[in-house]
Structure 1
Amino acid sequence: MLFTREKLEEIEDKNLAPYALRSKNSRGRLYPEDEAPYRTRFQRDRDRILHTTAFRRLEYKTQVFINYEGDYYRTRLTHTLEVAQIGRSIAVALGANEVLTEAICLAHDLGHPPFGHSGEVTLASLMKDHGGFDHNKQSLRIVTELENRYPEFPGLNLSWELLEGIVKHETEYDIADASNFNPELRGHLEAQIANVADELTYTAHDLDDGLRSGMITPEMLSGIALWEIITESVGWQGNILEEKSRHQIIRRLIGMEVTDIVQNTDLRLRESMVRSVEELQRLPYNVVTFSDEMRRRNRELKDFLYNNLYRHWRVMRMSVKAERIIRDLFEAYRTTPSILPRHVLDLTQKRGLERTICDYIAGMTDRFATEEHQKIFDPMRLP
């Protein structure tokens, strides 16, 4: 049997919950295009994201640990892939559109600059008088303007629903600005799933990487409720945490949290009695969320990670280096624009000097930014 786009849309209609988004009901794209014969709109969106330069660059952008600190730590790319996997699992369990959820997850960090949170804070400070910087907004700029891959239109010409999902991406550290995407409506079900998948993923894998690095030890976690529950459930005790045991603990943590999200969200959906996408978006609360008990346990673990990993002297030292690299590059480019590559300099007439510099730096990988800094400021390095 040949599965045409129409057939795939029929399968969506049959299998998805009434409050899930269907690709055939999409509000479409800004620039009209013929539909693909064997892919839905949302499948096409997902594929376009995967083929972007911005997506490939995530491989060499920091999550917590700088890329050259080790091959086993998460990068912004592996984080994104893990978010997508967890997002798909939650979407399938809740009857949401799995493909749209995956596409939002894959796009949610495209706008992150080099050096993780430190890079974003530094760029935001440098751009405070020039329109600001926020990685959510930068993700939207990338897919609507900066990725030039088609002669017919700028950006990727993604569907309205995917753009809405990117714009309404929110976690504890990311606040959405949805002024152009029905700000009175909450994110749709698939966007809400992407949000919690992101939060769940970075908490679990930051704990994993912290334990692997030795910055966090099992003794330090003693008394943390989630840690105690999980280690007891897998039968681990002691002070030496072997690799297999660490993997088992992190798997159990993710499994417990996904189960909590799915069960609690299912309960909230039933209680709300919503029967359409718009009804769900008009609720005064997000339906996709942890239970109150799990939220309290997560809060305790997040506070621990903040104080013991994100504020660890090794991470803080790299943050200081990152801030200096980005500030030095920004000021050098602004003071002497002629040192910018010609294709970048040519954009300043349209975008303005500071925004062009910001876009250029935000697109850099950790490695490229470090090498560029050395080329400009190390007199022994060739340009």
Structure 2
Amino acid sequence: MSQQNPVFIPGPTNVPDRLRRVMDMQTLDHRAPDFADTFQPVLAGVKRILKASSAQVMLFPASGTGGWEAAITNTLSPGDKVLAARYGMFSHRWIDLCQHHGLDVQVIDVEWGEGAPVEQYAEALQADSNHEIKAVLACHNETATGVVSDIAGLRNALDDTGHPALLFIDGVSSIASMDFRFDEWGVDIAITGSQKGFMLYTGMAIVAVSEKALQAMESARLPRCFLDFRDMLNANAQGSFPYTPPLQLIFGLSESIKMLEEEGLENVFARHHRLAEGVRQAAQAWGLPLCAKRPELYSDSVTAIHVPDGFDATALINHAYAAYGVSYGVGLGEVAGKVFRIGHLGSLTDVMALTGISTIEMAMHELGYPIQLGAGTAAAQAYYSKTRGELRAMAA
């Protein structure tokens, strides 16, 4: 089977040839003095992408899950209370990780397809008059449901209630694809990974940390070693790592930042919005509802689409892969078998998106879905054709 088809999972994403060439490199000495010449500008570049001039950025050989663990173990102590909402599989998994570390998690359960419930966060913070809650956790973009949340609203909830809790945000499937404003939103720790909007291979957790969060290290008593912020920062200050770094990924990240800034961040965000809207137009033409409940919740990096009653979304995904060698995201957790996900982030164009739309449309047709063959593809084509000039004008 040909391996040339693009993937439409919401990460890992397609790796551009330009980045593959950069990462296809001979081993270098990461203790050599000139390693810092590449490494330190990468940290500065990540700050620009996150709009995080006030943050310290650290790179750990891990996935985004390692970033979650780094966030809590460096700032919290056993038994500390954290506030989190569960509105998808990844918000659920972060809650589970906290519970495994002996934290007292106050969970706000929300229907999957909704976003972070700002008002309920505010009520919980207001009720916490003794400030027992030490951190507030949320996923900016819930990858399982295709829902984006209002992080500025969470910061306002903290500020309006005068609550001193830290604000930790999972930006794994949003950062470098959708607008993320670390400084403006008052984020204390933001987490992403190399394999999503940065278009690299999996294997590097990218963590941005505020001064307030760094100060919390002084009293934090959860055990940590490999993910210790202090060890990493001390080594980074010397242009080095406390252990062997993911060298190829760091060189790839340097080139990825160049690609994003050459395109222009606002153009990157506009491209993702346009790709996403084409997918949403296709879903509407198929007569299939999105998992996200309202337009203001629609993600620009992944769309989760409900299948009709009596159909199995997992069987659809398996058929698309078996018949056409194209991968899509399966439903997870509460929406397993009920939705399929089309990832449209990272290295993707409207031509590639049309490939994904038309292929899943053929798979649905072959499995007897009540859709008109070609309807979704035509709707996306019409939208991309109509908006092609707008995107070109932005890039000019």
TM-score (norm 2): 0.28
Structure with the larger helix share: 1
Structure with the larger strand share: 2
TM-score (norm 1): 0.29
